[in-house]
């Protein structure tokens, strides 16, 4: 049985192969860290957790790997936290919506295509040009709500 992490990594490899791009060992190492974390990781935290085989990779290496993973939709950037989360359905490009728990820091992704669509329509109508469409909702996850009651 493959773990969820192994499945996500296998899927990432398949996707990259189909798209003709390379998931290099560095890029895979960054993706693995982001997917394995139980909350969003900042670029700095990723850098600190990178396996140091010979020596720790330089920050630009990690930034470039993150850029690649963002481009491929394998990770999302949580703007309000300056941190990254793995995407579990990267096969179709989407912006997604993020539920961010302000207590435990957990982030859940919603993937409501309808929200993306109606937001895009409304924005187009306003004449505004979106550089990075971000939908981030701050609040309490179900578990943390329980802990407060
Ligand atoms: Zn996603
Ligand atoms: Zn929580």
Could you list which residues have their CB under 5 Å from ion ligand 2? Answer: 101, 103-104, 106, 141, 144
pLDDT along the chain (149 residues), means of 10: 90 97 95 95 94 76 95 95 92 89 93 89 92 90 86
Residue 17 C-alpha to ligand 2 middle, in angstroms?
36
The torsion angles phi and psi of 13, rounded to 5 degrees, stand at: -60, -45
DSSP, collapsed to helix, strand or coil, labels residue 139 as strand
| pTM (2 d.p.) | 0.88
Domain with CATH 3.30.1490.190 in the chain: 97-148
Residue 90 C-alpha to ligand 2 middle, in angstroms?
24
Domain 4-86 annotated CATH 1.10.10.1100 = no
Residue 83 C-alpha to ligand 1 middle, in angstroms?
14
The torsion angles phi and psi of 27, rounded to 5 degrees, stand at: -65, -40
Beta bridge partners of 137: 99
Q: Per-residue DSSP letters for 65-110?
A: HHHHHHHTTSEEEEGGGTEEEE-S-TTS----EEEEETTT--EEEE
Give the ligand with the smallest distance to the CA of 138.
2
Domain with CATH 1.10.10.10 in the chain: 4-86
CB-neighbour burial class of residue 31 (10 A; exposed 0-12, middle 13-18, buried 19+): buried
Of the candidates 92, 84, 87, 74, which has an alpha carbon nearest to the alpha carbon of residue 27? 74
Question: Which pLDDT value is given to residue 149?
Answer: 64
CB-neighbour burial class of residue 136 (10 A; exposed 0-12, middle 13-18, buried 19+): middle
Residue 137 C-alpha to ligand 1 middle, in angstroms?
15
- CATH label, 97-148, candidates 3.40.50.10140, 3.30.1490.190, 1.10.10.10, 1.20.59.20: 3.30.1490.190
Question: Which pLDDT value is given to residue 88?
Answer: 83
């Amino acid at each position: 049985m493959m773990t969820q992490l192994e499945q996500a990594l296998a899927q990432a490899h398949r996707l990259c192969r189909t798209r003709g791009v390379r998931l290099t060992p560095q890029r895979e190492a960054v993706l693995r860290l982001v997917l394995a974390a139980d909350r969003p990781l900042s670029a700095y935290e990723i850098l600190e957790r990178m396996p140091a085989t010979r020596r720790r990779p330089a920050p630009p290496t990690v930034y470039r790997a993150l850029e690649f993973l963002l481009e491929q939709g394998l990770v999302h950037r949580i703007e309000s936290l300056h941190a990254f989360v793995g995407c579990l359905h990267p096969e179709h490009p989407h912006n997604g919506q993020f539920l961010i728990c302000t207590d435990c820091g957990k982030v859940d992704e919603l993937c409501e295509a309808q929200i993306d669509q109606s937001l895009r329509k409304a924005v187009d109508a306003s004449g505004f040009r979106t550089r990075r469409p971000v939908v981030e909702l701050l609040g309490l996850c179900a578990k943390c709500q329980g802990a407060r009651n």
